[in-house]
Amino acid sequence: MTEGQDVSISLHNLQENFRGVEALAKDLNSDTRNGIDGSQRDIARRIQLFGDNKNRPRKIKTLWELVAENFEDFILQVLCVAAFVTLGIGIWKDGLSHGWIDGTSIVVAIIIITAVTAGNNYVKEKQF
């Protein structure tokens, strides 16, 4: 779609959805030639009708939300399954004394990956 087509579609939507420019201006208590009144009373009424037009602060995710968000990653899910399978097989084959080492090392890697990623994301969340 070209830029010219975008303009014609938006003009068509203006006509269809808002009954044209004049009707839209009337619905917004405005004038197509002079704009809005701009008096204190008019501005107070507009704030009551349409809102105060201020940016709302974005909700910052907590550290625990970011940690949980990490586990939506498919690779991390595969690592979790691999850790518990390796842990189970290692204990079954080599006994508890030596079988826990490989599985636990994968769990430690998961903890490190999750902590670093969540920490970095938390710092970014606080910056913005």
pLDDT tens string 81-97? 999 999 999 999 988 88
pLDDT of residue 6: 57
Q: For 30-81, what is each residue's pLDDT tens digit?
A: 777 777 777 888 888 888 888 887 888 878 888 899 999 999 999 999 999 9
Per DSSP, helices labelled H in the chain are: 3-18, 21-27, 40-50, 63-70, 74-94, 96-127
pLDDT of residue 1: 46
Q: What are the boundaries of each domain within the chain?
A: 3-50, 63-127
Q: Which of 112, 14, 110, 121 is nearest to 69 (CA)?
A: 121
Element (H, E) at 36: none
b/e for 14-30, b at 16 or more Cβ within 10 A? eeeeeeeeeeebeeeee
Give the tokens for residue 74: 């498919």
Is-contact 25 32, C-beta < 8 A? yes
Contacts 24+ apart (CB under 8 A), 85-89: none
Q: Which of 31, 32, 28 is nearest to 46 (CA)?
A: 28
